[in-house]
Amino acid sequence: MDHHGEEDLESLDKLINCDNKNGLYKTATVIKIPETPHNLSSNNLTANHHHKESLLGSFNKHLRHSIRAINESPSAITRLRNAKISSRRLRKRVIFKTGDCNVVQGNVAKRRRRYLQDIFTTLVDVQWRWTLAVFSASFMLSWMLFGVVWWLIATAHGDIEYYSQKDNTENDYAEDFTVCVNEVRSFSSALLYSIETQQTIGYGFRYITEECPEAIFVQCVQCIMGVFIQAFMVGIVFAKLSRPKKRAQTLLFSRHAVICHRDGVPCLMFRVGDMRKSHIIEAHIRAQIIRKKITKEKEEIPFYQQELKIGADGGEDRLMFIWPTTIVHKIDEYSPLYQLSARDMLKERFEIVVMLEGVIESTGMTTQARSSYLPCEILWGHRFQHVVSFKNETGEYEVDYTLFNNTYEVDTPLCSAKQLDEIRDLMADRDGIDRVASSGAMLHCVSSVVSMDSMSTESGVLQMHTTTPM
């Protein structure tokens, strides 16, 4: 094959595989036809002609195989959705970042009957397409039902026959005949009268007379039923639109939690914020850690829930929620994270579920926003950047939400809070340094305590400065 033929094949391969390089069609494969001796031996015009034909045929074959592979492979959106679902499932989290619970109720006895008994809550919880379908069907079915009833009344009383004779002849009908409902000539007119009655439209052409008491009773029943259906469905739509769950979408949690020292105490911190100008009244925050526990009786509790003591800047759990706030959990001897070091955090399995509750200022409803943090989402030795600044031009405090999830690294000991307290106790003793030096287990922990400034006890806070042992 000559030099030009090799360039053509190379350009064709690039043309076919261009999308594959961008990651759009990862499953598309191109079958390359091996070069035959006939292709390599081109000494005359006939051989060159056959070579051009084989080149065109290989291009067509490449193209057919690529298109077939692309059509048989799933779309990019489907692959992306499956990847997201599989990644969320593999992490085994109870609460997703969006606040949805990863819990499926299975094998519930008489589930449909129980849901139908609480039909209002069921219609509020279902998706919008089902709510709109029930909304439309409730009106249409009621119109059709009472349309059939009005048609039966008109047929039984002879109204339809009377109008039929009146339309076909001019003399052969009773002029003194009184109909139950005026201008109900067929089922279509009966359906129109049903819609006009239930929706109180009243065009004036069709109206009830005092001839038939059963028609008066049906009209009263339809009016009551129409008001009931309208109030029920409007209430469902209003409740669905004003659900506090939608307000929770504007309450933000930081993407990661961080562990660093504050006033000499190791702390777990995460950030919460509110995007709206209307505030959350009586806002308070809660946190629970979910992990496996084995009791003294060797009972294994797979999802043991333990409360974490948290608060705004280490204080109470009540928040003055006017700007993004950092929530702090002090890792002390009462904390379930007391014995976890940075290395243990990598292999430990637990989930910290956080819940922000409060009253919506504009509606007075109670809302709850949820999120969770896995060990891989906790950054050891990081601290959140400040997001609130004062603008001299307008005299206002500005919140920059582009920095909401930003963190920066700080010097933090890699040992656990328990080991850190033990080292502090040993360093406080006069002979503690010798015992620390003689203890090989403590050398690594001491070498990691490089973030402490100096050994002092000012304001009741013990800080120390150590160097890496030789």
pLDDT of residue 55: 58
Boundary (domain end) residue, out of 56, 72, 88: 72
Pair 185, 274 in one domain: no
SS3 270: strand
Pair 68, 173 in one domain: no
Span 199-210, pLDDT tens digits: 888 787 888 888
Pair 343, 368 in one domain: yes
Pair 424, 400 in one domain: no
Span 142-178, pLDDT tens digits: 999 999 999 999 898 888 888 887 777 655 666 678 8
Residue 315 within a domain: yes
Pair 222, 283 in one domain: no
Number of domains comprising the chain: 4
Pair 230, 197 in one domain: yes
* DSSP category for residue 279: P
Locus of tokens 């039984």: 156
Confidence tier at 460 by pLDDT (50, 70, 90): very low
pLDDT of residue 278: 84
Q: Which residue has the higher pLDDT, 231 or 465?
A: 231
CATH at 300 = 2.60.40.1400
Answer yes or no: is pLDDT of 397 > 80.
yes
Span 336-355, pLDDT tens digits: 999 999 988 888 899 999 99
Q: Which residue has the higher pLDDT, 448 or 26?
A: 448
Answer yes or no: is pLDDT of 25 > 50.
no
Boundary (domain end) residue, out of 72, 88, 110: 72
- Backbone torsions φ then ψ of 445, nearest 5 degrees: -70, -40
Pair 306, 295 in one domain: yes
Residue 113 within a domain: no
Residue 88 within a domain: no
Pair 386, 397 in one domain: yes
Enclosing domain of residue 362? 250-411
Answer yes or no: is pLDDT of 41 > 60.
no
Residue 12 within a domain: yes
CB 464 within 8 A of CB 424: yes
CATH at 184 = 1.10.287.70
Residue 101 within a domain: no
Rounded distance between C-alpha atoms, residue 160 and residue 170, angstroms: 16
Pair 53, 138 in one domain: no
Rg of the chain (C-alpha set): 38
Span 415-428, pLDDT tens digits: 999 998 888 888 77
For the segment 394-414, the average pLDDT, to the nearest whole number, is 92
Residue 100 within a domain: no
Pair 226, 373 in one domain: no
Boundary (domain end) residue, out of 214, 241, 268: 241
Residue 90 within a domain: no
Q: Residues with Cβ < 8 Å from 118, sequence gap 6 or more? A: none
Span 99-141, pLDDT tens digits: 888 888 888 888 888 888 888 888 888 888 998 999 999 999 9
pLDDT of residue 318: 83
Pair 65, 151 in one domain: no
Pair 405, 447 in one domain: no
pLDDT of residue 143: 94
Indicate the average pLDDT of the chain: 77
DSSP class per residue in 364-418: --EEEEEEEE-GGGEEETEEEPP-EEEETTTTEEEE-GGGTT-EEE----SS-HH
Locus of tokens 């001299």: 392
Q: pTM higher than 0.85 for the full model? A: no
Residue 23 within a domain: yes
pLDDT of residue 317: 76
